[in-house]
Structure 1
Amino acid sequence: MSQAKKRYVRNPNLPFVSRELFTKARLTDDEEKQLSAESYEEVLKAKANAIEGLLRPFYDGGDEDEKKKKTKSRIEFEVFASPKLKHFRQRVRFGICEQQQHREQQLLSEEEEKGKFDYCIFERSEITRIETKFDIASESLQAIMNKLREALNEDDRFQSLREGRLSAVTFHENRKSTECVVTLWRGEPFREDFAKVSGLLAKEIGVKAIVGRTKGDRRVSNDSTEDFVVEEMEIKDNESGTGRVLRYKQPEGSFSNPNGDIAEMTANWLCRAMETDEIAAQTARSFVELYCGNMNHGCYLAKYFPRGKVIGVERDENLCRAAEVNLEMNSIENGTIINAPAEIVARRFLSRLRKKKRGEENIEGEEYPFTEKDFFLVDPPRAGLDEITLDLAREFKDIMYISCDARSLARDLGEKKLSETHRVKRLAAFDHFPWHADFLEVVCQLEKKE
């Protein structure tokens, strides 16, 4: 029997700000107060305090080895706020619901309105309609949202795209708002003229491509291969402010960080950690990342491993292809992508490691592409690490664990006993989802105990 999927339950003790507030044309004084900078500080503080409470047993003297020391090492828990409180997302997805406001205002009959839609979001078992604005999305995305809805609802040339049980729409752009890809999700097959009709619509609303997705079928406007956006990230390498700009292909339909500003802040924090530890000066170490995606972390951290390899492990073939492009686009010559599930790579590595310890190192021919002496980064899904991947992590001296749910990180450190082999060296939280009552992304650097 398959295991039931664990349902996420919101913490009722944390403040809640409804996304409906971001859809209103006008706010009351009380609603304005809820979305003020002062209110955000309270939400962020509450989230940070909750996470600090979860993780405190594993740092700041909670470690048994630390208690034995005469002087207790002090780990600072750094918290980074979102620089934007509105318009901070470059990727959004909406459900589709039947349009009602015109009928309620008696502007259209039920027959005239048939098939026309509004965007909607589902929150706390309720549906919130988005009529003209959604201030969580970037301003340019909002403009494209309205153009698309108007074109599909009002222009007969595009009626075929609206038909066929349209169920959702995704918008994905880069931070400069120079490229945007729209995805239409529906329950019925697309007509043969989809590429032509959607190509005309893409030009009309000013987007790079429109992708159509239905079960077993995926099509792109004008049969184009330009179904991606290119994002840029600036890394400041020293205190003088000089730095470098990296470019990333973010393919449609695959994971990318929706808050590019916070992703850039996270990248700079990780680079500072590498510089402080003088990782680049260490002997021929390699960088190994599980769940590497499009090699977002690997590209900007590659410079700290000049005499080793930069190895990414990712199961999504589409992201692996993007990762190869990104390595080349950023002139990373020592990069390698392994297209495989993390648990498969972990199992093979641990098997070889056991044979090595028994003196059978060359029993299977070629040496494995990395060793337990290399630098290990994991950026797993919300559920955290599974047992076999945790066993792999325990073998490494240095671990950078990026967690989008601190409860999974706390479980892996405590219940799963990762803290028995490793101690916390650095800890920081980044608010990718301002106003969301629960989530802060946590970056935890661990080092093996002596």
Structure 2
Amino acid sequence: MPLSRVQPRDYEALLQAKVATTRQLFSELALPEPEVFPSPPTGFRMRAEFRMWHDGDALDYVMFRADDPKTPVPIREFPIACETIQRLMPALRTALSADPVLRRKLFQVEFLSTLAGDTLVTLIYHRRLDEEWEAVAEKLRSQLQVKLPRLSLIGRSRRQKIVLGQDWVEEVLPVDGREWRYRQYEQAFTQPNARVNISMIDWACQRAEQLDGDLLELYCGNGNFTLPLSRRFDQVVATELAKASVRAAQDNILANAVENVQVIRLAAEEVTQAMRGEREFRRLAKLPQPLAQYDLRSVFVDPPRAGLDAQTLAMVAGFDNILYISCNPETLAANLAQLTATHAVQRFALFDQFPYTDHMECGVLLARR
């Protein structure tokens, strides 16, 4: 996204235009009026990454335009990043530029921050990191901790990872009347817009308020939705394929003293096979009872941009209630065209997770007709 598109004064008008465009995608489905959840117009991104451009001893954060991928665009200000990242960027750039050990063959810098005050910086190199680098990097971390005491730093190169501090940050989100603690691991997926993420989780919890029985969740990630939703159901069986996300979800279950959630490492296709009884998975033996004995009346899905594949879509259609969070309105519209043959859309929501872009996050609640 070109930073020239970031126009905070025009945010409301840009949002309404995006809402209208998104609604047009669903015009043939006769969905209810959407609830619209805006973003803060600036300071909303908790993650950012930049290529580092070398010009002699000087360094610049750079990005590249889609129509000109070979010409670097220096980034001196990044108003869409959270305040912590905005304050950290110039101080870090100055320190990296001044030190030849930290500067040499530095390729990329990644930032991860939280509303709770944790910050993690990852420096990625095209060379092997040695003890000298580690000593200088630890000195840099100590300097930055004067203003950001909860800062960790990671150095990466090919098949190498050096952690100074910890390789995760802790987020605390006020959702559904209580605070939820989330461990977010470096380079694992997290929702980039924390404020809109709170709105998304709150919305899902409110929609689940009238549901009962047990819940099946696909693509649970680090338990972002799973943990608050657990208060609405007797038992939750949550599935996720990425190892780092499963690890984080299990950590977060313990940290929040949640006792009715089981996280199983399965792909969505494998869950479909298990639900149909087509295959047995040893990983399901970890459940306190066989999968078939759960009272699974509702399903929650938050799939990747490709949406639900045909087999998963057919399996999901077998549930009484479907809560669907989508990061791609086009694939959601295609999935809904099939799901609405058996289910009615009761609630519809739009979440502006990525202001100043064409991207819109959607939420839908469906109930069997």
Q: TM-score, normalised by structure 2?
A: 0.89
Indicate if the aligned counterparts of 1:78 and 1:428 stay in contact, CA closer than 8 A. yes
State whether structure 2 residue 276 is matched by structure 1 residue 350.
yes
Q: SS of the counterpart of 1:351?
A: coil
Q: Where do 1:53-202 residues align within 5 Å?
A: 53-60=24-31, 75-82=32-39, 84-99=40-55, 113-114=56-57, 116-126=58-68, 127=71, 129-155=73-99, 159-164=100-105, 166-176=106-116, 178-202=117-141
Task: Tell me how far 1:186 sits from its aligned partner.
Answer: 2.5
Task: Tell me how far 1:384 sits from its aligned partner.
Answer: 1.1
Q: Where do 1:153-302 residues align within 5 Å?
A: 153-155=97-99, 159-164=100-105, 166-176=106-116, 178-206=117-145, 208-221=151-164, 224=165, 226-236=166-176, 243-275=177-209, 277=210, 279=211, 282=212, 285-302=213-230
Q: Deviations over 1:192-248 (max 9, x none)?
A: 444433222212122521112233222212xx4x21111111124xxxxxx211111
Indicate if the aligned counterparts of 1:58 and 1:424 stay in contact, CA closer than 8 A. no
What one-letter code is carried by the residue in structure 2 that aligns with 1:137?
A: A
Q: Give the structure with the larger strand fraction.
A: 2
Q: TM-score, normalised by structure 1?
A: 0.74
Distance across 2 between alignment mates of 1:346 and 1:217: 37
Identity over aligned pairs, percent: 32
Equivalent position of 1:392 in the other structure: 315
Q: SS of the counterpart of 2:291?
A: coil
Equivalent position of 1:68 in the other structure: none
Task: Tell me how far 1:315 sits from its aligned partner.
Answer: 1.2
Label 1:20 to 1:350 Cα distance change in 2 as closer, same or farther (>3 A). same
What one-letter code is carried by the residue in structure 1 that aligns with 2:3?
A: R
Q: Where do 1:400-411 residues align within 5 Å?
A: 400-411=323-334
Question: Which ranges in structure 1 are unaligned for 5 or more consecutive residues?
Answer: 1-16, 23-33, 61-74, 100-112, 237-242, 354-365
What one-letter code is carried by the residue in structure 1 that aligns with 2:231?
A: K
Equivalent position of 1:446 in the other structure: 366
Please say which structure displays the higher CA radius of gyration.
Answer: 1
Question: Which ranges in structure 2 are unaligned for 5 or more consecutive residues?
Answer: 280-288
Q: SS of the counterpart of 1:383?
A: coil
Label 1:394 to 1:21 Cα distance change in 2 as closer, same or farther (>3 A). closer
Distance across 2 between alignment mates of 1:255 and 1:80: 22
Q: Deviations over 1:359-405 (max 9, x none)?
A: xxxxxxx7326757432111111111122221221221111111111
Equivalent position of 1:336 in the other structure: 262
